[in-house]
């Protein structure tokens, strides 16, 4: 298995993995979003693959801090393909993301995971992620509640 940066050719595989997370119909805009993320200097979209098969991905953002000496990194999306879970791939992707965050000057990682994703939350606890204060969201475009 290797971990690499995403390319536009990963759009179909990313859309399929996002569907596994409950985000259907991304194929109409995934290429545009992928291009935006790949061009952003504070974003790394990591792909885990075996041969030519995408097995998972992790979207990592680096967020500079004004009042703290170290920055932090946020995982916004993280998915391992259904048939590949519980084989260590998630740990490998997470370890790579943490190493890249340290290299960027980050001293902490953050991930937001819906409480309904029980196995994902259990994974984060096993990886030493602790529950943090309340996270609040306000939709400003009228599209309804976030997932």
How confident is the model over 31-64, as pLDDT tens digits? 999 999 999 999 999 999 999 999 999 999 999 9
Q: Nearest-CA neighbor of 29 among 18, 20, 45?
A: 18
In 3-state terms, the chain is what percent helix, strand and coil (to 5)? 35, 25, 35
Give the predicted TM-score (pTM) of the model.
0.86
Q: What is the pLDDT of residues 85-96, one digit of tens each?
A: 889 999 999 999
* CB 47, CB 57: distance < 8 Å: yes
Q: pLDDT band for position 147 (50/70/90)?
A: low
Class in CATH terms, 2-126: alpha beta
Residue whose entry in the numeric block shows the structure tokens 């309904």: 116
Provide φ and ψ at 55, rounded to 5°: -105, -20
Any idea where the domains of the chain sit in the sequence?
2-126
Share of the chain above pLDDT 90, in %: 66
Task: Show the tokens assigned to 6.
Answer: 């995403």
What average pLDDT score do residues 3-9 get? 96
């Amino acid at each position: 298995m290797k971990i690499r940066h995403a390319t536009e050719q990963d759009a179909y595989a990313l859309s399929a993995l996002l569907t596994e997370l409950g985000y259907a119909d991304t194929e109409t805009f995934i290429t545009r979003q992928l291009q935006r993320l790949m061009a952003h200097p504070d974003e790394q979209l990591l792909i885990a693959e075996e041969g030519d098969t995408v097995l998972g991905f992790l979207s990592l953002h680096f967020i500079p801090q004004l009042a703290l000496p170290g920055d932090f990194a946020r995982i916004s999306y993280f998915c391992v393909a259904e048939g590949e879970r519980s084989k260590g791939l998630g740990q490998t992707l997470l370890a790579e993301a943490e190493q890249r965050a340290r290299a960027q000057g980050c001293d902490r990682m953050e991930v937001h995971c819906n409480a309904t994703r029980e196995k994902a939350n259990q994974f984060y606890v096993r990886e030493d992620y602790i529950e943090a204060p309340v996270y609040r969201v306000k939709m400003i475009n009228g599209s309804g509640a976030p997932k």
